[in-house]
Amino acid sequence: MTPVPEVVRAFFAWLNSCNWKDLKNEVNSEQISVAESVDELVRQEVASLLQDYECFVVDIRVRGHKGSRVVEVFLDGESTVSVDLLARFSRDLEGRLDEVIEGGYRLDVSSPGADRPMTDWRQLAKHKGRTLEIKSTVDGEPKRIVGEFVDLAVDTLVVRTKDGTVSVTKDNFVAATVQLPW
């Protein structure tokens, strides 16, 4: 049997003495910090670019790691957001993100689908006449209302339910989803 050199023994002794849990936590906190900074950079670029477009951001999601990130941007408007607008915005944003995101990434720019909850008050106007499921709060308690969207004022949404007319204030509004007929 060949004797183990002292250097190898010292190396393994050092490995056993390392606190790997602390090292893992340190690496995880660095990853979180990098992820937060990439998310913030994306949000800044989107906000800056929006000044040139007639739309607003509904949601931004950045996930994944360096080299395999996915950036999702959901845009909407008070009127319909066209595919051409989304394509132009995507091209313009990609040019900016190439300068701030290291490694490869996938960029998806779209409008929220009909089944995605509307969380921004400005999204509601174009759905007048449709049946909505509205989530709101009353005295801090969650409330669910289903009915035909009748009117929208600056700070009040009016819905006709089977039991009568219901008003939801902007302050109590949480989300609304279009109830599709099928």
On the question of pLDDT at 13 being above 50, the answer is yes
Q: What CATH number should be reported for the domain whose range is 10-110?
A: 3.30.300.70
CA distance 128 to 81: 17
Q: Which backbone phi and psi does 102 adopt, to 5 degrees? A: -80, 140
Q: What is the distance of C-alpha 133 from the center of its chain?
A: 21
Return the domain boundaries, the chain.
10-110, 121-178
Which CATH number, 2.30.30.520, 3.40.640.10, 3.40.47.40, 1.10.10.410, labels domain 121-178? 2.30.30.520
On the question of pLDDT at 22 being above 80, the answer is no
Average confidence score pLDDT of the chain: 84
CA distance 173 to 159: 13
Considering Cα of 172, then 154, then 54, then 78, what sign does the dihedral take?
positive
CA distance 147 to 163: 9
- Helix or strand run (H / E) with residue 29: helix 20-50
pLDDT digits (tens, 9 = 90+) for 109-141: 999 887 789 999 999 988 999 999 999 998 889
Q: What is the distance of C-alpha 89 from the center of its chain?
A: 17
173-178 β-sheet, strand order: 164-169, 156-161, 141-152, 131-138, 173-178
Fill in the amino acid letter for 139.
D
User: Which residue is listed with tokens 């049997």?
Assistant: 1
User: Which residue is listed with tokens 């089977």?
Assistant: 162
Considering Cα of 137, then 141, then 144, then 148, what sign does the dihedral take?
negative
Q: Are 56 and 120 within 8 A, CB to CB? A: yes
pLDDT digits (tens, 9 = 90+) for 37-95: 888 999 999 999 998 898 999 999 999 888 889 999 999 998 889 999 999 999 999 99
User: Which residue is listed with tokens 């910090």?
Assistant: 33
